[in-house]
Amino acid sequence: MLGDVAVSTSSGDIRFFYEEEPDSCKLVYQSNSGEAQIHWTGLHYEVRNENKVRGTKAEGEFQLTAETSSGDLKVG
């Protein structure tokens, strides 16, 4: 990741794929009806439940924010 990323959708899934995992990032996900699949090593979760995730990897240099009304998040 070279900067912050923010994405939102009312209906539909959000997917983020990188050739290399970011070394330092913060992840924030919120959904009314959806779930998250996060495949990053070293992510320390502050909140992790069915439709809300918040976590930090290393210093959290960049932030990935994803919001859906009805949709899943997949990060890998």
Render pLDDT for 14-59 as a digit per residue (tens, 0 to 9). 999 988 899 999 999 999 999 999 999 999 999 999 889 999 999 9
So what's the pLDDT on residue 53? 97
Question: Is pLDDT above 80 for 10?
Answer: yes
**CB neighbours of residue 52 within 10 Å:** 14
Q: How long is the chain?
A: 76
